[in-house]
Amino acid sequence: MNRYVIAGSTGDIGSAIHGGLKDSAEIISFSRSRAPVHGGDHHFLDLSRPLDEGGVADIFSGIDRVDALIWCPGETLFGLLQETPMEKVDAQYNISIRSLITFINILLPKLKRSTTGRIIVITSVWGRNGASYESVYASMKGAQESLIKSLAKEFASTGVTVNGIAPGVVEGEMTEELPQEEQAYLLEDLPQSRFIRPEEVLHAVKYLLAAEAQSVTGEIMNINGGWYT
């Protein structure tokens, strides 16, 4: 059976991915404050703070092979750049980049032992296009895209692929944090006049996990209903 590591497994997208893969793989999941509804081997970890690399390595010490790292954590951050406290900037950096790199460094030897090693990062439409009033969040997602493209080249000879998925506006808690007026404006602006279902992101993850996607690496898959294409 395949073994997948899912970080951010209790958000709307992470939970959908966890639920969609749990019957066909062993799942090791991570979240900050609540357990996943889908069970499995779960660990609480605050990815918004610098991680103890040794402590994370200990979690995987008895595991020789991992088939995929799926990185889903995300935290909204609205506000003007000049009004954003640096501790919130640091938290966004840790969630999107530093913690991701820590996990990759620890899991890469185990991913190399898989015949279909995968790293899949859930980014954002804003990482591709920028977002007023979300400049820090968008910048960190943009950094993820650069990391994905760079590591795809760096890891190509190992057989481990590295890809991203950039959803648009997804149904769930993050979108519901927006005022109703903002949600209505978004629906008017979206070409399909609908929010994306988390299961649509799951479908893309399943494609990238498939053996037939071995030659797909360094890609950012847009799932945005024709928005910002």
Q: Which pair of tokens denotes residue 31?
A: 């979240």
Q: Under a CB-based contact definition with an 8 Å cutoff, are residues 27 and 66 in contact?
A: no
- Using one digit for the tens of pLDDT, what is the confidence trace for 136-178? 999 999 999 999 999 999 999 999 999 999 998 888 777 777 7
Q: Which pair of tokens denotes residue 118?
A: 């995968």
Q: What is the DSSP string of 118-165?
A: EEEEE--HHHHH--TT-HHHHHHHHHHHHHHHHHHHHTGGGT-EEEEE
61: pLDDT confidence band, cut at 50, 70 and 90? very high
What is the Cβ-side half-sphere exposure of residue 24, based on CA atoms within 13 angstroms? 8
Could you tell me which CATH number the domain at 2-223 has? Answer: 3.40.50.720
Active site residues: 137
